[in-house]
A and B are shown apart, each in its own frame.
Chain A
Amino acid sequence: MLLRIVFLVISLQMAIGPAGAHPHVFVDAKAGFEVNEDGLLTALHISWTYDPFTTLFLFDALDLDSDRDGKLNDEDYAAILRGETEWGEGYVGDIYLEVNETVHPHLNPVDAQASYDNDQITIRFDLPLAEPVKVVGQAVVLMLYDPNYYYSYTVNDLIETTPLPENCDTSIYAFEPDAVTGDLLVALGTLSREEQPEQANVGRLFSDEVVLSCD
């Protein structure tokens, strides 16, 4: 019932300026690639695990556990999936696939599942690509980031449902603050000036990278 206020507060917080640049929602993510026998990347595998505080907030926002037994039932899981995977126009789930440094579009989630372990809600889904893309010899990078850095994603594991072709390999490059501190400082500076166009993508600079390389 209070879902609207979540989005309201988030947009409000971002409109207010640099204080809003602190991430408030922390997501532990897993990610993977689906590459077929023809060497075409057809889909992405994604898993989001919300931090315990955001999980509690979702209890209210999505009106979960209405019988107050502390456990989630099928109805609750259905509500989570509705809330998390039915994306509005223009929202891409903070998931950006870049092929040779150009964003390659994906569709909305399919085959979504929700779970609740260790006081944290997890949503797992696949994202088919609008058009499968050849990956051999290409620079394929998957990034999970909120352009406004309200959500902070950390990719801490890979998902491999069907094994990748033998010539392909996936690795995670965690965001390293030290290596690019200079650039990031500048980027953070632009956060306070919301009118700067560069600001639109500042979250990317804080993003982990999942790299697929096939040769």
Chain B
Amino acid sequence: MRLSWTIPGTAVLAVGFLLWAMVPWFELSQWAAAQQREFQNAMARALRAIRDGEPRALWLLCSATAAYGVVHAIGPGHGKVLLGGAAFASGATFRRLAVLTLASSLAQSATAILLIGALVFGARMGAGDAADLTETWLAPLSLAAIGAIGALLIWRGLRSFGRLMAEQADDHSCGCGHSHGPSVQDVTSLGTFRDAVGLVASIAIRPCTGALFVLVIAARFDAFAAGCLAVLTMGLGTASFNLIVAGGGSLARRFALAGQSAGSDNVLRLSAFFHIVGGGVILTFSALTLLA
């Protein structure tokens, strides 16, 4: 009985680990770095074209930033760990994950716009103040929020396990039904608006460096609006890669649950287990970077 859920669970972890180990991360990051350099140069050309008032400049800039967003997202960053881990744990539909991924990338762009907007146009806020704000609060806050989501997922998993155990203990004593047992809703996450906002906000708190650079340069050439548009398309580019990661997490979950009847105790146990694994990965990652 017990083996029936530990086997697929362990198998998914093993396959995931194997796939991870097989990815040529070094070559991939070298390739991404080379592409990033190309797209960075393209952004520079487009920004100069905007300064010189060329008609196609905005289009050039947006296509360059979108491409930059894609290649910059390649590599194991904090947002991807969160999205992948949460997708694996949560059991949310792919459509919902896609919306959340898109929302978190765009919200991250918005943070960059707000931050540089405040720097450039906010008469009261000096560059030093905004810098201190980001340095002291935003980056650690983002990691702490992500870590908290990891902890929450673990807690939900443990709680469901606890209820499943209690239910089993009850079964032969009182036969009072399944009221103590976790429902399918208990062992899925990201279903509520509150969960969704938490996930998006934890990613969006920390803006992306490339976006800040584009905005600063655009503002310097009196083209802040063009910069904003370009940064939003960069967010779309990032989201397109992150979608693959979230999809991968979701797929791994489905693979592990294949053949199990929905709502069965096995599925509930596996889902609880995935919460602990996914939450554990997220919490470990953010704790390591936060404490380093």
Contact = CB atoms under 8 A, between A and B. Distances in A.
B128 A193 contact: no
B288 interface: yes
A1 interface: yes
B25 A188 contact: yes
Given A51-B37, A194-B289, 8 more contacts: A4-B127, A16-B139, A17-B78, A22-B72, A53-B40, A53-B41, A56-B217, A192-B288
A181 B76 CA distance: 19
Interface of A: 1-2, 4-5, 8-13, 15-19, 21-24, 26, 51-53, 55-57, 59-61, 70, 119, 152, 177, 181, 184-185, 188-189, 192-195
A22 B29 contact: yes
B17 to A, nearest CB: 14
Main secondary structure of the interface of B (DSSP, over half): helix
Among A16, A23, A195, residue most surrounded by chain B Cβ atoms (within 10 Å): A16
Interface stretch (B4-12, B43-51, B173-181, B243-251): B43-51
Contact of A19 (B26, B51, B76, B130): B76
B24 to A, nearest CB: 8
Given A5-B119, A12-B135, A53-B43, A181 B26 contact: yes
9 contacts: A2-B216, A9-B209, A12-B209, A19-B77, A22-B33, A26-B40, A51-B40, A53-B44, A59-B217
B77 A5 contact: no
Given A4-B127, A12-B135, A57-B216, A119 B44 contact: yes
Contacts of B41: 51-53
B217 A60 contact: yes
Given A2-B216, A55-B44, A12 B134 contact: yes
A11 B26 CA distance: 23
